Copies of this chain bind each other. A is one copy, B any other.
Amino acid sequence: MATKEAPTAACIRVAENQVRSASLPITPVMTSSILNASTGRNIYLKCENFQRTGSFKSRGAVNAVLTAVKNDPGVKGFVTHSSGNHGQALSYAASIVKLPCVVVVPRGTPKNKTDAIEHYGAELIVCDPTPTSRTETCLKISEQRNFLIIPPYDHPDVIAGQGTIAVELLNQVADLDAILVPVSGGGLISGIATYAKHINPNIRVFACVPEGKMLQECLSEEKRLWPEPPKFLQTQCEACRLQQCGNITFPIMCSLIEKQVFNISDKTMIKATRFAFERLKLVVELAAGLSLGAVLYHCDQLDASIRNVGVILCGGNIDLSVPLPWHQDDN
């Protein structure tokens, strides 16, 4: 049973108006005859790599920021800790409402990432590279400057923002049977499932995760079986290193998504990412290789009745200043 903080489909419709008012584009849905032939299904790729800031994260950040300003026009600024896509997205969202933004990043974050965050105008504050230091630094700045914390996924407005993908996708593709979604904290899949299942309870929403996530066990028992303190997974997909899903997102996932989870090895994820580059001509990040890898290489695990499959390509922020993953020595 989802908590009272879970956004409703109506919240997601409001979010959709909000992200449109901020000129976030409706991302294209692409198809590929090679992909359809090799899977024997109709595959619809929702290209969030073309979303503003290079990933779906701008949807949640923009919705959270605009909602915050609407609820309290006196809001002073925003803060989060994220060296990745959410940091860029919040920096961008704050720039829309012309408010200051601080992004806390762990010491040692690669320059290409800090550059991308600063590009949209946020101030960077460096902390020790531990989960505790990140949370504490973030909290301290929030108190000192009276800035609102916008977490990367465990927040109803962030989840509602990510759900706007489903509003678009269901308009763009008729008769979807399933949607495959990469999962880290669970904000993306929670938003998508909330809206898609409301419109059509028969649509099946599947999580695609790196190996070791333990998500299938947790969903089956509807319990947080993850070890404490929170662990990081051994995966090259930095955006999906977190083992645990959120306290708001996990109950939503338990009530709406399939118990069957696609556990994707790094090898498969990288192979799928390469397929996206070579055959689809799309620059995607490794996390997109989770959902694409599931459909490309584990399609036999999908019920034969599932014909029309939406695949979320969550972003395109792969570091191109270093060799491509399939050229790196350890792959």
Contact = CB atoms under 8 A, between A and B. Distances in A.
A59 interface: no
A86 interface: no
Interface stretch (A102-110, A152-160, A320-328): A320-328
A324 B282 CA distance: 15
Interface residues of A, number: 21
A316 B30 CA distance: 16
A54 interface: yes
A54 B281 contact: yes
A56 interface: no
Interface in A17-56: 28, 30, 33, 49-50, 52, 54
A281 B324 contact: no
A277 B324 contact: no
Nearest to A322: B327
Contacts of A50: 30, 281
A23 to B, nearest CB: 8
A283 interface: yes
A205 to B, nearest CB: 25
In the assembly, how many copies of this chain are there? Answer: 2
A274 interface: yes
B323 A327 contact: yes
Contact of A320 (B33, B49, B282, B324): B324
Contacts of A326: 320
A75 B234 CA distance: 59
Interface string A253-283: 0000000000000000000001001101111
Contacts of A284: 281
A33 B33 CA distance: 30
B54 A274 contact: no
A193 B282 CA distance: 29
A277 B281 contact: no
B282 A281 contact: yes
A277 B49 contact: no
Given A281-B283, A282-B281, A274 B324 contact: no
A321 to B, nearest CB: 8
10 contacts: A28-B28, A33-B52, A49-B281, A281-B284, A281-B316, A282-B283, A320-B324, A320-B326, A323-B323, A323-B327
Given A277-B320, A320-B326, 15 more contacts: A28-B28, A30-B50, A33-B52, A49-B281, A54-B281, A278-B320, A280-B283, A281-B283, A281-B284, A281-B316, A282-B282, A282-B283, A283-B283, A320-B324, A323-B327
